[in-house]
């Protein structure tokens, strides 16, 4: 079994106090912290191998190119893509989803076509499709949720029709903490001749992901949510689809030949990687994947599940506190959203910060979901491999302390 208390010592940022209290970092859904091996690997690249890739024949350029392409293979194996060419490096998950909308979407969506997403999508997996639908005269449709916050699969079967050309769904939601049935959704999507695009930002760092087993057409994620540097992300796409798509951006590196009046494009994945990429970010992403593989994704998922099993019953026992999403720990990721009646989530988050506890408060880039839930915002705690039962207990204690301080449930407000 993995020793998660020992792994926690690899994260130097956690060894500090905030407002005089030991830091409890519960905002990994926004960005994860970086372990020392990842920090050291990025530093080593800059100290020994830093050069631009692909274009040089000198030793440093060859080393940098080898590092960069090795990172592509590492990502390929991590998500079990069929070949390295199916891995495109991007700025992040948002960039990857916009790439699909601006290339595959522009080329394949016509007036009257349907694009189907869920009401629980992050804005990154909503706005690109909303704007594409407006530009093309397509119809944007939403899959609803069950009463406990899971994707309504029966509604999905109604919304996805023979007019549907694209379905875009999060693998795991960033507010409700639910994992969507991607494999079944892919089957339904393909039965109607459409493609499925998956936002994997909240999943790939927390559970095993096999894009071939899921049979998804596109899968996007960010490195910074899985302990790599910021500014690096990945778009996986099936090779036959990528080959038909036009470039996303133009410039150096993505070309075959350039003449005064015409140009040709490099093969995949390079035609989607214009200009100098985030080379050190790719190296850091590979190092983060190596770190995750050392622990084991199944073990990480089990660890987070154990923390949620400890947390949810305690939260549900607090009077005047509402937990959004499934109340069954077995149906939950390490993301838990909640509100105290009568207290704005920002005030609750500020109170928790005074106890050294970092949570997120707001609409979490999911305003349509907030409207669906009939709230303006929520507080959100999100757990990762470096969190412990002590962090769970600290959160529950701090929420109760804030409830008492603000006199929630007493009929008066301090």
Pick from 355, 347, 362: which is nearest to 401 by CA? 355
Angle at 361 between CA 359 and CA 367, to 5 degrees: 140
Residue 410 has pLDDT above 90, yes or no: no
Tokens of 250: 């133009």
pTM > 0.85: yes or no: yes
3-state secondary structure of 116: strand
Residue 411 has pLDDT above 90, yes or no: no
Give residue limits of the domains in the chain.
4-30+296-405, 38-294
Model confidence pLDDT, tens digit, residues 125-180: 999 999 999 999 999 999 999 999 999 999 999 999 999 999 999 999 999 999 99
The CATH number of 4-30+296-405 is which of 1.10.150.20, 3.90.1150.10, 3.40.228.10, 3.10.20.30?
3.90.1150.10
Residue 49 has pLDDT above 60, yes or no: yes
Tokens of 49: 């191998």
| Mean pLDDT over each residue of the chain, to the nearest integer | 96
Residues tagged active-site: 365
CB 234 within 8 A of CB 76: no
Cβ-defined contacts of 261-268 (< 8 Å, 24+)? 267/85, 267/243, 268/85, 268/86, 268/88, 268/239, 268/242, 268/243
* pLDDT given for residue 3 in this prediction: 86
The CATH number of 38-294 is which of 3.40.50.620, 3.40.640.10, 3.40.190.10, 3.30.930.10?
3.40.640.10
Tokens of 26: 């519960």
Model confidence pLDDT, tens digit, residues 229-242: 999 999 999 999 99
Whole-angstrom Cα distance, residue 277 to residue 271? Answer: 12
Residue 280 has pLDDT above 60, yes or no: yes
* pLDDT given for residue 408 in this prediction: 81
79-83, 290-294, 326-330 — which is least confidently predicted?
326-330
Radius of gyration of the chain (CA): 22
Length of the chain equals 414
CB 278 within 8 A of CB 223: no
Burial (CB count within 10 angstroms: exposed 0-12, middle 13-18, buried 19+), residue 275: exposed
User: What's the mean pLDDT in 96-106?
Assistant: 98
pLDDT category at 9 given cuts 50, 70, 90 is: very high
- The verdict on whether omega for the bond into residue 383 sits within 30 degrees of 0, i.e. cis, is no
Kindly give the residue spans of alpha helices, DSSP state H, lying in 56-139: 59-79, 93-100, 106-108, 127-136
pLDDT category at 256 given cuts 50, 70, 90 is: very high
Residue 326 has pLDDT above 80, yes or no: yes
Residue 14 has pLDDT above 90, yes or no: yes
- Maximum alpha-carbon separation in the chain: 76
The DSSP element (H or E) to which 143 belongs, if any, is strand 139-143
* pLDDT given for residue 414 in this prediction: 52
User: What's the mean pLDDT in 194-221?
Assistant: 98
Model confidence pLDDT, tens digit, residues 212-229: 999 999 999 999 999 999
């Amino acid at each position: 079994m993995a020793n998660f208390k020992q792994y926690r010592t690899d994260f130097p940022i956690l060894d500090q106090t905030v407002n005089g209290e030991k830091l409890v970092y519960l905002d990994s859904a926004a960005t994860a912290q970086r372990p020392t091996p990842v920090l050291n690997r990025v530093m080593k690249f800059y100290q020994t191998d830093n050069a631009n890739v692909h274009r040089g024949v000198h030793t440093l350029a060859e080393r940098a190119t080898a590092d960069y392409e090795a990172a592509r293979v590492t990502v390929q194996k991590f998500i079990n893509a069929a070949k390295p060419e199916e891995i495109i490096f991007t700025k992040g998950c948002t960039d990857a989803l916009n790439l699909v909308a601006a290339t595959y979407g522009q080329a394949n969506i016509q007036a009257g076509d349907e694009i189907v997403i869920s009401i629980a999508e992050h804005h990154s997996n909503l706005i690109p499709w909303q704007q594409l639908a407006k530009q093309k005269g397509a119809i944007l449709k939403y899959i609803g949720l069950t009463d406990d916050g899971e994707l309504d699969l029966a509604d999905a079967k109604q919304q996805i029709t023979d007019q549907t050309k694209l379905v875009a769904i999060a693998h795991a939601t960033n507010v409700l903490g639910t994992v969507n049935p991607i494999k079944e959704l892919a089957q339904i999507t393909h039965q109607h001749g459409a493609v499925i695009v998956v936002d994997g930002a909240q999943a790939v760092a927390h559970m095993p992901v096999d894009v071939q087993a899921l049979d998804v057409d596109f899968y996007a994620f960010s490195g910074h949510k899985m302990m790599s540097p910021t500014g690096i992300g990945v778009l996986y796409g099936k090779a036959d689809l990528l080959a038909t798509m036009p470039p996303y951006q133009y410039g150096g590196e993505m070309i075959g030949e350039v003449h005064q009046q015409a140009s040709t494009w490099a093969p995949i994945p390079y035609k989607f990687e214009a200009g100098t990429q985030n080379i050190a970010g790719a190296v850091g992403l590979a190092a983060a994947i190596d770190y995750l593989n050392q622990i084991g994704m199944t073990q990480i998922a089990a660890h987070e599940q154990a923390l949620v099993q400890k947390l949810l019953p305690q939260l549900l026992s607090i009077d005047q506190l509402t937990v959004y999403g499934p109340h069954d720990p077995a149906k939950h990721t390490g993301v838990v959203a909640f509100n105290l009646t009568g207290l704005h989530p920002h005030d609750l988050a500020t109170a928790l910060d005074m106890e050294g506890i970092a949570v997120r408060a707001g609409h979490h880039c999911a305003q349509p979901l907030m409207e669906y839930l009939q709230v303006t915002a929520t507080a959100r705690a999100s757990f990762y491999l470096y969190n412990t039962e002590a962090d769970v207990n600290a959160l529950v204690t701090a929420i109760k302390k804030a409830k008492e301080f603000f006199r929630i449930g007493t009929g008066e407000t301090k």
